[in-house]
Structure 1
Amino acid sequence: MKSILEGRPALRKEVEKIAEVAGYLWQNGWAERNGGNITVNVTNMVDDEIRNMPAISGVMQIGTSLPALKGAYFFCKGTGKRMRDLARWPMENGSIIRILDDCASYVIIADNAVMPTSELPSHLSVHARMIEKGMSYNATVHTHPIELIAMSHNKAFMGKDVLSNLLWSMIPETKAFCPLGLGIVPYTLPGSLALADGTLRELEDYDVVMWEKHGVFAKGLDVMDAFDQIDVLSKSAKIYINAKCMGFEPDGMSQEEMAEMTRAFNLPR
């Protein structure tokens, strides 16, 4: 069967970008076994032929109604699929879905009937909120960065903006490229509605959210943008932990120095 990517360079490029990021997540050690998820809104790359494609799955329920997503299309990593396999064979380890007119269900349209991630309702809820608020974000990424998760085991770091300020202070690029910092969701059962609700609340003010003792969830203009923000935060965490392993508390940039960065680069915070 012909792939949906054939003759659609924009969609192919987007899926290739997703595969590239999946490879980075695996190479960094952030995606053990089937850990992590990627969901990307590809509606603006859909043509009339795709809109008329028949479903290759039955109708599946989202579990909630999301009117902002009516008729939208998403690429989703498959449930139980590994990032390292998504990197090599994205259309065998992910699928493209269509949100139906009831806004509460979806069908798979391509390329294979690979069931989307079990965390799809959480991802779609975030996408719906972004559309409702008129944001230009199209991608969500959930992954397990080792050093950031390790830092989340210290309650002293879990207060509002404590970890953001610490990570910003480690290297100027972190504040420049992740200017909203890191939101915090206290430990909550993975896949639960409470976790989704907590994430939505934090994403009102942040682009990246730490799930205590679990991982991070990021939104981005595209999948590479979401990855880049996680990557710079992870670099700062490594700098902090390396300094501690060398036996000293790193000085970090002062509040005055970070304020200078904010002014110089016209950052939001």
Structure 2
Amino acid sequence: MTKFIDSEFVKGLGDVTTNLYQHGWDERNGGNVSYRIMDDEVAQFEDTGKVLRNIPIDFDATKLAGQYFLVTGTGRYFKNIKNFPERDTGLVRIADNGTSVDLMWGFNDGGEPTSEFPSHLMSHIARQAVDKDQRIIMHCHPTNIVAMTFTQPLDSKSFTRTIWKMHPEGIVVIPEGLAVIPYMCPGTVQIGETTAQQMERFRTVIWPHHGVFAAGDSLDETLGIIETIEKSALIFTTIQAQGGKMINCITDDDLRDLVDRFDLPANREFLYIKKP
């Protein structure tokens, strides 16, 4: 048997957090990721079978009892995770009481899961109800997406349509669209509950003036969703810098052509605009 530190899970998390840092989306200790690891996967390793300590959490996660999550630590810098995974991340198991986690590996300097972990768990519950393969919750601060929340209406439909119309990949990658919630204080039960409610329909939730909360079945998929939205936001920002007037554009008919061509499960509520 091998050690967990040498696993594809630890390596993958180190790679993606480095990528996020290099994008400029996770400055200092900004951002957090949780990665669901299946029971049989955890059982492969010789050093994940003993509870190192129990850590209380500010949420009743009984619905996830027994599930394992590799999670980034509170106050930890993404730029360091690849080199210090056993210090800056931890493998935790949701305890039977739901209000604490058993640390099985990592956080070897006394660390704890990110302060946003309750919000992550709420969204894991919501996404698992609609996607049995759900594994990742990823939070980061993409510059152009955040900037758009200062200049555009905080409305899910209009925000989605702007993103869709900046690049064909927009509707291909996020056919369901994205949700935009009101500004809320991060690290609170309120923002976690509001985000989880939206996660019942969307894989991506925009936190205005702050960042993105995204869900997916793998690290690559979840990062790819965020990268695609941020690319569209960058194109929008560049258009505004060039004067904001679009001589040419992707039309509603063009969007519907993409839906038909790729047989996309598009959000019809966002795809069509009722004419007066």
**TM-score scaled by structure 1?**
0.91
Aligned with residue 28 of structure 2, among 26, 33, 36: 33
Cα distance in 2, alignment partners of residues 42 and 136 from structure 1: 11
1:224 aligns with 2:220: yes
Shift of 1:115: 0.9
Contact 1:68-1:132 within 8 A present in 2 as well: no
Aligned with residue 260 of structure 1, among 235, 240, 257: 257
Cα distance in 2, alignment partners of residues 228 and 16 from structure 1: 18
**SS at 1:98 equivalent:** strand
**TM-score scaled by structure 2?**
0.88
Would the alpha carbon gap of residues 146 and 74 (structure 1) be closer, same or farther in structure 2, given more than 3 Å must change?
same
Contact 2:47-2:105 within 8 A present in 1 as well: no
- Give the corresponding residue for 1:146: 143
Cα distance in 1, alignment partners of residues 57 and 244 from structure 2: 49
Amino acid across the alignment from 1:221 = D
Contact 1:166-1:252 within 8 A present in 2 as well: no
- Give the corresponding residue for 1:130: 127
Contact 1:96-1:109 within 8 A present in 2 as well: yes
Contact 1:39-1:77 within 8 A present in 2 as well: yes
- Give the corresponding residue for 1:20: 15
**SS at 1:247 equivalent:** coil
**SS at 1:205 equivalent:** coil
Shift of 1:108: 1.1
Runs of 4+ in 1 over 4 A off after TM superposition: 48-52
Aligned with residue 191 of structure 1, among 167, 187, 199: 187
* RMSD (Å) for aligned C-alpha atoms: 1.9
Equivalence map 1:81-230=2 (5 Å): 81-111=76-106, 112=108, 113-154=110-151, 156-230=152-226
Shift of 1:100: 1.2
Would the alpha carbon gap of residues 161 and 51 (structure 1) be closer, same or farther in structure 2, given more than 3 Å must change?
farther
Amino acid across the alignment from 1:212 = P
Larger deviation, residues 104-113 vs 162-171: 104-113
**SS at 1:74 equivalent:** strand
Q: C-alpha deviations, 1:169-228, integer Å up to 9, x for none? A: 111112111222221111001111110111011111211110011100000111221110
**SS at 1:161 equivalent:** helix
- Give the corresponding residue for 1:9: none
> In the comparison of the two structures, how many residue pairs are matched?
261
Shift of 1:134: 4.6
**SS at 1:152 equivalent:** helix
Contact 1:209-1:216 within 8 A present in 2 as well: yes
Structure 1: gaps of 5 or more residues: 7-11
Percent identity of the aligned residues?
Answer: 27
Amino acid across the alignment from 1:95 = G
Larger deviation, residues 180-189 vs 250-259: 250-259
